[in-house]
Structure 1
Amino acid sequence: MNDSKGAAAPQATFCPAHNRIYVLVAAILASSMGFIDGSVLSIATPAIRSNLGATLADAQWISNAYMLFLASLLLIGGAAGDRFGLRNVFAIGIVLFVVASLVSSLAPDPGFLIYARSVQGVGAAMMVPGSLAIIAKAYPREERGKAIGLWSAFSSLTTILGPVIGGFVLTVLGEWSWRLVFAINLPLGGIALALLLLRVPADKPEPGRRLDWIGGALITAALLLIALGLTGTGGNAPLPSQMLLYCGAGLIALLAFLWWEARSSAPMLPLHHFRRAAFSGAQGLTFALYFALAAISFFLPMTMIGGWGVTAAEASIVFLPLGILLTLLSSYAGKLADKVGPGPMITAGSAIVALAFALMGLFAPLQDPWLGVLPFTILMGLGMSAVVSPLSTAVMTSVEDRDTGLASGVNNAVARVAGLLAVALMGGVAAFVFERVLGGFAELPIFFGMRPDQPLPADAEAARLAANNAAFAVIAYANAALALLSAVIAWFTQENKLGRRRRPA
């Protein structure tokens, strides 16, 4: 409907203008909880292992229990917001996340923490899709860009400062202070929840929307079984027979998920989109690159803090350039991708990341965070800055306009699944290489990425350091190859305005 001057009337939203600021603040606080948990946990993992006596397998599950439910339920969480109302589902997600954070901060042992992290993942699956969606629904189109820009700016600030503050807290207060990483979610979540319930009206749900619960159950079972096969249970690495049993059952569940999605009338993952080379290529390169990024982000701090004796504060500073460069350069990369196409940008960025990872493995024996790691995290930041924004463009342009939200959700879920499998698989690789290089000292209580409780004899300490560096080097080289694979996929599947066009399906 137009006014007398012919201009379009402002778009109606569920939220009055004077209450929209509360939606924005609540979304920023909720997102901050997720970003803090994700970015600080890798720095805090060595302290958790030492303080709770957690094995490497325990540490993997502390990360993967969260990632499992977030990755498998992310698409359902987004659809649930449409079905039952964004504000309602977003608020429930915050409650689950905050309660699980409180329980995590009080965990007396690794098993307790793993179960709490599982609940936290369920809450995140309801909260993460809602944080941006509720802004888009509350603000009219002409004001939406500014609101999302503010959300993005504060999210970037949290990503940059979270690990630094967390690292200094761990260094100053000691190992027990890992509990504060979870406890900080209580005031953040409490304020966000109060704003939503007291200041934001409920939006209108879509009662006809169907949720793919069967698909969600099948993909959760598949990822859980595969993770069990790769990581093991009870804090122990899996036996070969257990690995075959769990991974085999997981693959069967995965095939059942794909069978169901192909036949469901309301699938959480519409498979027909994968017939497009651009869409399937974007998911493939995302999986390869984010698998590599998750593996390095999880095992590098463990190598530095637990292996080399670097403080948590120093480790957090080493990772600081990644967040700064992503914040400063991503918009420029997006503009350049408009000129040359996302293909060349993603290809170049992924190749730079691959070079950074390979150099990290090569210089690991230096055991020097400033000479052997910092220059390469800067290189990694440059590479990822060239990837993130063009990849979003590639995903959005690979489908029809009406499916962009779904495409973004699928890509987000693929990145989370990649992170889950990276931590599960690379932990086994690290443990295998560590034990082989350790040789005759394997009978001693020495573990990858963990400082011994008592000083070791000189020859045993030298063997421990060599084994620690060798294990990380193998991880770095393997994931450099995966990052390079993502560059190849991008070159052959994504739009290239420099002369080479993307190939048809």
Structure 2
Amino acid sequence: MSDSTSVPVAAGGVAWGSPEARWMLTATVLGSGMAFLDSTVVTVALPAIREDLDTGLAGLQWIVNGYMVTLSALILLSGSLSDRFGRVRLFMWGVAVFALASALCTFAPTLEWLVAGRVAQGVGGALLTPGSLAILQAGFREEDRARAIGAWSGLTGVASAIGPFVGGWLVQIGDWRLIFLINVPLALAVLAIAWFKVPESRDPEAARRLDLPGALLGVTALGGITYALIQWGAVGAAPAVWVGTAVGVLALVLFLVVETRVADPMLPLGMFSSRGFGVTNAATVLIYGSLGTLFFLLVIYLQEVAGYSPVAAGAASLPITLLMLALSARSGRLASRIGPRPQLIAGPLSVAAGLWLLSRIGREAPYLTEVLPGVLLVALGLATTVAPLTATVLASVTERHAGVASGVNNTFARGAQLIGVAAIPALAGIVGGGETGGGVEAGSLIAGFGPAMLVLAGMCAAASLCALLLPRGRMPGAGEASGRGSPPREVGAVPPRGRERPLRFCGVSGPPLRSCPGSTAGDVPGDPRSGRNG
């Protein structure tokens, strides 16, 4: 792989506007955009996949969750790997794994092969997504880093926005397999640029011991619990469900034990001694768990029940991305003036109201009168919530731990989506014809969609209640609950010059792997594991 001596770079990093800067930005945007695009287009293609592979609801859940299991469990470990072995090196490995996994998905003859490909895609996504921001942080001059990361954020936001259109169009003109095949040429282009044009960087102070037992136990815990929840919805309380539950719970307990004993844990449990950190992560689980389930069920309902085309079903949630692109920076600035508490109370309530409206859509589901009003309320609620939520997570710990805090928050968000997609359909009575056949029962989808949206609305209302535990008028400090760490930073306090710039976009599928618009953590996005600037 590339090395720091193979690509010349000026001391202190490259300058904005230089050819080296353009190559670096191109590689990271294309690599991350590929993963972001894939996460949205797959959901749009689920009904077509169901028909082609003759799978039921459980199979569709595994297509989504196979990716999320490995992504959620490995995204923290990948930051340590990139610090130690090289950020460009790990980024390229991630892109290569993602491309090979996409090829496996393209030619998958059965559901089992497709799920295996999605699991491998999650491994690639865990390697490449945090590495892309770390490359920019390490490669650009300090005065240009925020501008470069802002450009990365906006451009990858565009990839998220066009994903539903691309996915729906590819399904309509050809075959669902094209949504995976499109990743292969993109990945080859990224690998070529990264090899020849992007300078390598490492952290000489990175931890020498990797938390491999924690990573293995994390994958086992998420996989076991997810298997149990999906099989419970498909076959009821069968012995396999209890075995999966036992394996998942035991692995989770062992994971927590390991994380208290290893020298450099993936999940530093001591961070949860901060009340602000614990509260905001609880809200993250509730909000993102509801979002993942919403996108999964809505696109299936609109196609299977209301008869929407793949393009129309994918575009139904486009206002969410567009409003977040337009309003997230303003939301962050508002939170820096008035404190995060009002927005973290009002935002989830707006999302809950939107989900309540969506619970009332009928079989015809006319978009302008029944779908769009609920989608707009969800969009406004997310635009109000996401930036101050991420800023509060970062402000709740000492600055040197900001990268770890953001990575933990991202992992919680991904894990919540994973569990939500596995559990909520079964709770709402939405069933399929088993794991390998029969499709999704239309009657159960019609009867269960409304109750599922109400469950999600209740989760968002609970997230709003969590925000009541935050103090008024300031960001919670790192030592607030435990008496340790830095004092709380007053909201509205001016950060050091050159250290903070508002970004343009915070992702819908998960929190960014560092600061968002208006972050008061005093640190621009960068290395998602160590919290140190490259």
Q: Same fold (TM over 0.5)?
A: yes
Partner residue of 1:257 out of 255, 260, 265: 255
Root mean square deviation, CA, Å: 2.5
| Structure 1 residue 320, shift from structure 2 partner | 1.2
Q: Secondary structure at the match of 1:135?
A: helix
Closer, same or farther: CA 124–446 of 1 in aligned 2, 3 Å:
closer
Residue 240 of structure 1 deviates from its aligned partner by 3.6
Shift, 1:168, TM fit: 2.9
- The answer for the alignment partner of 2:62 in structure 1 is 61
Query: Closer, same or farther in 2 for the Cα pair 1:363/1:142, shift >3 Å?
Result: same
Match of 1:496 in 2: 472
Report the alpha carbon displacement of residue 247 of structure 1 after superposing the two structures with TM: 1.2
Corresponding residue for residue 411 of structure 1? 409
Which residue, out of 441, 452, 460, partners 1:483? 460
Q: Deviation digits for residues 273-330 of structure 1, max 9, x if unmatched? A: 0011000111110001000000011011011111222111111221110111000000
Q: For residues 67 and 236 of structure 2, what CA distance do their matches in structure 1 show?
A: 20
What does residue 358 of structure 1 align with? 356
Q: Which amino acid letter does the alignment assign opposite residue 448 of structure 1?
A: V
Q: Percent identity?
A: 33
Match of 1:394 in 2: 392
Taking the aligned partners of 2:393 and 2:298, their CA distance within structure 1 comes to 29
How far apart, in 2, do the equivalents of 1:396 and 1:500 lie?
A: 10
The aligned runs of 1:113-152 (5 Å cut-off) are: 113-152=114-153
* CA distance in structure 1 between the partners assigned to 2:118 and 2:74 by the alignment: 14
Moved more, 472-481 or 312-321: 312-321
Rg larger in 1 or in 2? 1
Instruction: Return the letter of the residue paired with 2:352.
Output: A
Aligned position for 1:246: 244
Distance 1:77 1:289 in 2: 25
Shift of 1:501: 11
1-structure distance, mates of 2:290, 2:310 = 22
Work out which structure has the larger RCO, using CA pairs closer than 8 Å and 6 or more positions apart in sequence.
Answer: 2
Query: Residues 337, 15 of structure 1: CA spacing in aligned structure 2 closer, same or farther, 3 A cutoff?
Result: closer
Give the whole-Å Cα distance in 1 for the aligned partners of 2:198 and 2:439: 50
Distance in 2, Cα, partners of 1:283 & 1:276 = 11
Give the superposition deviation at 1:209.
Answer: 2.8
The total of aligned residue pairs comes to 468
What is the one-letter code of the residue matched to 1:217? Answer: L
| CA displacement at 1:190 relative to structure 2 | 1.0
Going from structure 1 to structure 2, the CA distance change for 1:468 and 1:24 (only over 3 Å counts) comes to same
Q: Deviations along 1:122-168, whole A, 9 cap, x unmatched?
A: 11111111011111110011011111111111111111111123223
Change (3 A) 1:276 1:86: same
Cα deviation digits, residues 65-100 of structure 1 (max 9, x gap): 110000000000111000101010110000000111
Deviations 1:195-241 (A, max 9, x none): 110112332453753210011111111111101111129x9545343
Deviation at 1:189, TM superposition (A): 1.1
> Alpha-carbon deviation of 1:386?
0.5
SS of residue in 1 equivalent to 2:355: helix
When normalised by structure 2's length, the TM-score is: 0.83
Which SS does the other structure have where 1:178 is aligned? coil
What are the ranges of 5 or more consecutive residues in structure 1 without an aligned counterpart? Answer: 1-9, 450-463
Cα distance in 1 between the residues matched to 2:386 and 2:53: 36
Structure 1 314/499 Cα, relative in aligned 2: closer, same or farther at 3 Å? Answer: closer
* Cα distance in 2 between the residues matched to 1:24 and 1:73: 24
Residue 365 of structure 1: how far off its partner (Å)? 4.8
Q: Distance in 2 between matches of 1:268 and 1:198?
A: 32
Which of 372, 375, 385 is the matching residue for 1:374?
372
User: Are the equivalent residues in 2 in contact too, given 1:261–1:268 (CA < 8 A)?
Assistant: yes
What is the rounded CA distance, in whole Å, between the counterparts of 1:366 and 1:179 in structure 2? 29
CA distance in 1, matches of 2:158, 2:92: 23
Deviations 1:398-427 (A, max 9, x none): 111101000110011110100111111123
Q: Deviations for 1:24-74, whole angstroms, at most 9, x for unmatched residues?
A: 110000111111111111111111111111211111111111100000000
CA distance in 2, matches of 1:12, 1:152: 22
Q: Pick closer, same or farther for the CA change 1:501–1:257 going to 2, 3 Å.
A: closer
1:12 partner letter: G
Aligned partner of 1:496: which letter? R
